[in-house]
């Protein structure tokens, strides 16, 4: 399978604190890859390094075989877009103004705003279903609308690779599904390579073609969720006892965690509280 992003002996740290150590990772082209793991395992740090927002202590990140450290900032921005956690727009900035920021990598003093830029912005607004919100201030939107606006900005950037750090955080379940469905459609229709950090293991299994489980500064396991996610992996990576069954609607792994809670008694085929 063709690889689009690779890390070679990648080591990441914050000061003296080692986060990722000598990691070798390959991310397939045209698929949805999701990073999973316990809090503090380095998922977001790894994503930031892939986007060249964090300089490695050692090792290399490659895009299509080219080291990103040797690429110009604009060249990187033309190949990948990133949506960090909890993105905030300046007060009063409209949705249209925000989405136009995605065209910044293509602007030079010789080449200002073009018809192509206009088309990319309009297409991004249409793809995310927020054309009717383009004149609204970003800070006046609901959580789901605001997340769509930020995703529209990354789409306007017109990259083959989109990186998202916990894109469903702080969203209710309806908006979580809404955003993940949107990203799934972008992958299905446009074959964008999407790399995400998600905390919800069941949603990760539903949407990802490729799961990367991170533990102890390294890749613990990687592959299709149906071949990777089981009760043993969840126990080792998250320290959680559970059953992993098949989702009755999608056939993907579904984690049922053990713990305390009400137990429903069954009698004569009926369920009683």
Q: Indicate whether 268 pLDDT > 80.
A: no
pLDDT at 219: 96
Cα(2)–Cα(26) distance, rounded to whole angstroms? 9
Could you state, in order of their start, the residue ranges of all structural domains in the chain?
3-79+159-272
Beta-carbon-side half-sphere exposure of residue 229 (alpha carbons within 13 Å):
34
- Number of CB atoms found within 10 A of residue 237's CB: 20
**CATH homologous superfamily for the domain 3-79+159-272:** P-loop containing nucleotide triphosphate hydrolases (3.40.50.300)
Q: Region 17-37: what's the mean pLDDT?
A: 96
Separation between Cα atoms, residue 102 and residue 7, nearest integer Å: 26
Q: What tokens appear for 213 in the block? A: 């489980």
Instruction: Report the alpha-carbon distance of residue 56 to residue 52 in Å, rounded.
Output: 9
pLDDT of residue 226: 97
Confidence band for 84, pLDDT divided at 50, 70 and 90:
confident
pLDDT bin (cut points 50, 70, 90) of residue 272 is low
The structure tokens listed for 67 are: 């080291």
Please indicate whether residue 270 or residue 190 has the higher confidence score (pLDDT). 190
How long a stretch of residues is the chain? 273
Q: Count of CB atoms within 10 A of residue 17's CB? A: 7
Percentage of the chain lying above the pLDDT 90 cut:
70
Q: What is the pLDDT of residues 204-230, one digit of tens each?
A: 999 999 999 999 999 999 999 999 999
**How does residue 113 score in pLDDT terms, banded at 50, 70 and 90?**
confident
Residues 123-146 have pLDDT tens digits of: 999 988 899 999 999 999 988 888
Contact status, residue 133 vs residue 52, Cβ threshold 8 Å: no
- How, if at all, do strands 66-67 and 80-83 pair? unpaired
HSE, side-chain direction, 13 A CA sphere, residue 240: 17
In this structure, the dihedral spanned by the alpha carbons of residues 68, 71, 73 and 77, taken in order and rounded to 10 degrees, is -60
Say whether pTM exceeds 0.75: yes
Q: In whole angstroms, what is the distance from residue 123 CA to residue 126 CA?
A: 5
> pLDDT class for 261, splitting at 50, 70, 90?
confident
Pairing of strands 161-165, 80-83: parallel
Distance of alpha carbon 224 from alpha carbon 243, whole angstroms: 18
CA distances from 263 to 94, 210, 241, 273 (A): 49, 35, 17, 8
- Region 170-184: what's the mean pLDDT? 89
In this prediction, residue 58 has a pLDDT band, given cuts at 50, 70 and 90, of very high
Does residue 3 register a pLDDT over 80?
Answer: no
Average pLDDT of span 240-246: 96
Q: What is the pLDDT of residue 169?
A: 82
């Amino acid at each position: 399978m063709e690889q689009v992003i690779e890390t070679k002996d990648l080591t990441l740290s914050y000061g003296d604190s080692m986060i990722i150590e000598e990691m070798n990772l390959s991310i397939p082209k045209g698929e949805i890859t999701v990073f999973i793991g316990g809090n503090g395992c380095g998922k977001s740090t790894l994503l930031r390094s892939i986007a060249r927002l964090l300089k490695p202590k050692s090792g290399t990140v490659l895009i299509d075989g080219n080291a990103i450290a040797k690429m110009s900032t604009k060249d990187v921005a033309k190949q990948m877009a990133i949506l960090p956690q909890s993105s905030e727009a300046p007060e009063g900035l409209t949705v249209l103004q925000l989405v136009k920021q995605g065209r910044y990598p293509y602007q030079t003093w010789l080449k200002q705003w073009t018809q192509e830029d206009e088309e990319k912005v309009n297409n991004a607004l249409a793809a995310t279903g927020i054309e009717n919100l383009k004149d609204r201030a970003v800070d006046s939107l609901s959580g789901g609308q605001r997340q769509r606006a930020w995703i529209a900005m990354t789409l306007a950037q017109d990259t083959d690779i989109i990186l998202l750090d916990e894109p469903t955080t702080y969203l209710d379940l309806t908006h979580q599904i809404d955003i993940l469905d949107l990203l799934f459609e972008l992958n299905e229709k446009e074959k964008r390579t999407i790399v995400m950090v998600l905390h919800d293991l069941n949603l990760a299994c539903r949407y990802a073609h490729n799961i990367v489980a991170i533990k102890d500064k390294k890749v613990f396991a990687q592959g299709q969720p149906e071949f990777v996610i089981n009760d043993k992996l969840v126990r080792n990576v998250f320290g959680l006892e559970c059953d992993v069954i098949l989702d009755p609607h999608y056939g993907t792994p579904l984690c049922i965690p053990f713990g305390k809670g009400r137990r429903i008694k069954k009698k004569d085929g009926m369920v009683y509280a």
